[in-house]
């Protein structure tokens, strides 16, 4: 378990993360978060609920329980961004998988702030979404390692310890807490595209270590649909890194 979040540098410029710079591009004004402050501490309490139970931040989702991350990843996020993707990705495909995660951040940046720079998405998320992340939230070892891999892939500066508040690297945005908050701010059509993002890559048995993924089959109606095929072609594939 990592230490509780504390004392991180403020984000002031792209140089906080990147070894290289790119031209500044204007972005549209930050949209009002659809979840806003009304969902900033959405801890639903059902009759008989335990004090540590948490409510799902997704509007109209009735989930209340302790395994919030498990629920959010399996029901509301695309498999490419799960921190424990099932089936596991083959080692020789990890680079392509990491590139797919970057492409997902790029998609979210275009959708949410109208920018092709992930750095602009980070600044928006820091201003709008980070206050909605519980102060005590931690980034576990497995997620730390995956964020470090993404930072190496993109040549972003490794902060040493990735932190949720304040956001100290673009790689932090692959964390499930930010992914679900960003998804809540998407338009319905964009959210559908988000949910299917990376479907072709994750469903290709040449990319994974086994042909069966019990995690999805047992615990996620959404992942089960993706696993078995819905009869419709998903709208987006994961581009290869060039």
- Reported as a single tens digit per residue, the pLDDT across 157-211 is 999 999 999 999 999 999 999 999 999 999 999 999 999 999 999 999 899 886 5
Buried b (16+ CB within 10 A) or exposed e, 126-148: bebbbebbeeeeebeeebbebbb
Of 168, 159, 236, 156, which Cα lies nearest the Cα of 202? Answer: 236
Return the closest-CA partner of residue 202 out of 89, 91, 101, 37: 89
8 Å CB contact between 223 and 74:
yes
Q: What is the pLDDT of residues 36-61, one digit of tens each?
A: 444 443 434 444 545 578 889 898 89
Q: Distance between CA 234 and CA 204 in Å, rounded?
A: 13
Judge if pTM exceeds 0.75: no
pLDDT tens-digit profile of 224-236?
444 444 434 444 4
Beta strands in the chain (DSSP E): 54-55, 64-65
- How far is it, in rounded angstroms, from Cα 44 to Cα 54? 6
Q: What are phi and psi of 221, to 5 degrees?
A: -65, -35
């Amino acid at each position: 378990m990592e230490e509780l979040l504390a004392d991180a540098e403020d984000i002031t410029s792209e140089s906080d993360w990147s070894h290289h710079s790119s031209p500044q591009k204007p972005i549209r004004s930050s949209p009002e978060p659809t979840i806003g402050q009304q969902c900033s501490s959405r801890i639903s309490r059902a009759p008989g609920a335990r004090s540590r139970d948490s409510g799902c931040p997704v509007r109209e989702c009735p989930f209340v329980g302790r395994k919030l991350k498990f629920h959010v990843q399996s029901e509301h996020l695309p498999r490419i961004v799960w921190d424990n993707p099932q089936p596991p990705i083959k080692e020789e495909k990890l680079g392509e998988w990491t590139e797919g995660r970057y492409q997902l951040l790029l998609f979210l940046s275009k959708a949410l702030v109208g920018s092709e720079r992930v750095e602009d998405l980070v600044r928006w998320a820091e201003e709008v979404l980070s206050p909605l992340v519980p102060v005590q939230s931690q980034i576990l070892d497995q997620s730390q390692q995956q964020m470090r891999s993404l930072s190496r892939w993109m040549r972003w500066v490794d902060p040493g310890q990735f932190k949720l508040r304040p956001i100290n690297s673009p790689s932090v945005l692959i964390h499930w807490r930010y992914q679900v908050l960003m998804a809540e701010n998407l338009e319905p059509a964009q959210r559908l595209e988000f949910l299917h993002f990376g479907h072709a890559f994750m469903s290709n048995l040449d990319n994974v270590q086994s042909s069966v993924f019990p995690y999805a089959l047992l615990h996620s109606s959404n992942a089960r649909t993706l696993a078995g095929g819905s009869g419709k072609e998903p709208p987006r594939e994961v581009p290869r890194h060039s």
